[in-house]
Amino acid sequence: MTELDLDVRWYEGTRSRPGRTGPPIQVHRAAPNTIVLRQNITDNFEAPFLYLLFGDERAFLLDTGATADPTRFPLRATVDTLIDRWLHEHPHDGYELVVAHSHAHGDHIAADGQFTGRHRTRLVGHSAEHVAAFFGIHDWPHGTARFDLGGRILELIPVPGHHPSAIAVYDEDTGILLTGDTVYPGRLYVQDFPAFQHSLRTLCDFAAGHPVAAVLGAHIEMPARPFRDFPLGSTWHPDEAPLPLAAGTLQAIRDATLLNDRPGAQRHANFIIWNGPCRRESAAQSVRLLLSRALGRGLGR
């Protein structure tokens, strides 16, 4: 498998509203054919991670971030530059780009419009029906589909629960499992709990049969200190937990969902499950955000 470098210091943002540290999009080359991009947290507190994977025939972009405006969030220009650089080293006529999504929430699809009309580019639709049709998943959400980038096979796994059209993407070349908002070091917002339980089972079964080098989600909302989280909405993340999770975390989340299926928040060392609307927890988060801004502390209380 291709070796990965996932040891990154992501920009931590700023405690006050105006001001920015770092570029609008932080670009990290985890491997020559694997790029991790992150939207600047001061532009949008969601600070989503996006992934750009290169094969011989086509590139695959997973997610388009939280901001449509190309002057604030120049995703198309960044991706074009990265593809040009790749093609300079690996010349190929008719190289394609496929733009897919971990799921269709606004912070993962906002810059889709930057790619409309781009030459040799296919955009995957947002509904489960569109995703299933594009990749040829005939019995959604059961089964998986393989998608060939040219000498690099991706496996697409339906994982509804956070969102009806959510998918995970496994890359045979590097062993990364991209899990979107289904699994990441943060608050896992579960909209459909039985579907989420089923999807975690699917992911655990998949990981048991495939070498998973790292589980990479779409956000970080926790600090390195276990059991804590940054206040919801915070644009300042000092000392964030690392992005990669071990494959064993899938089983830990699954076990947690089997032990406790009651609505509300349940806090674990490196993930937090929010089952349902969690109104009390949301209200507490708003207070924490105000306090953290007033007191200048990253975590609030």
Q: Kindly state the number of chain residues that form the binding site for Zn ion, as judged by CB under 5 A.
A: 2
* Binding flag, residue 181, Zn ion (CB under 5 A): yes
Toward Zn ion, which CB reaches closer, 65 or 298? 65
Q: How far is the CB of 218 from Zn ion (least distance, A)?
A: 5
Residues forming a β-bridge with 264: 275
Considering only 51-59, 90-98, 137-145, 180-188, which stretch makes contact with Zn ion by CB under 5 A?
Answer: 180-188
Give the range of 177-185, 234-242, 246-254, 277-285 binding Zn ion by CB under 5 A: 177-185
Exposed, middle or buried: residue 227 (CB in 10 Å: 0-12, 13-18, 19+)?
exposed
Cβ-based nearer residue to Zn ion, 36 or 149 = 36
Q: Which two tokens stand for residue 176?
A: 């990364």
Give the CA distances from residue 231 to residues 31, 78, 177, 243, 291, in Å, rounded to whole numbers and listed in that order: 32, 30, 27, 18, 9
Stretch that binds Zn ion, among 90-98, 128-136, 174-182, 293-301 (CB under 5 A): 174-182
Instruction: Indicate which single residue of 12, 43, 63, 107 sits in contact with Zn ion (rule: CB under 5 A).
Output: 107
Which secondary-structure segment (H or E) carries 60? Answer: strand 58-62
At residue 30, the 3 state secondary structure works out as strand
Q: Around Cβ 238, how many Cβ atoms within 10 Å?
A: 14
Shorter beta-carbon distance to Zn ion: residue 86 or 271: 271
**Cα separation values, 129 from 54, 108, 113, Å:** 26, 18, 20
Tell me how far, at minimum, the Cβ of 156 lies from Zn ion, in Å: 18
Q: Which stretch binds Zn ion (CB under 5 A): 3-11, 126-134, 175-183, 205-213?
A: 175-183
Residue 32 CB, nearest approach to Zn ion (Å): 28
Residues that bind Zn ion (CB under 5 A): 107, 181
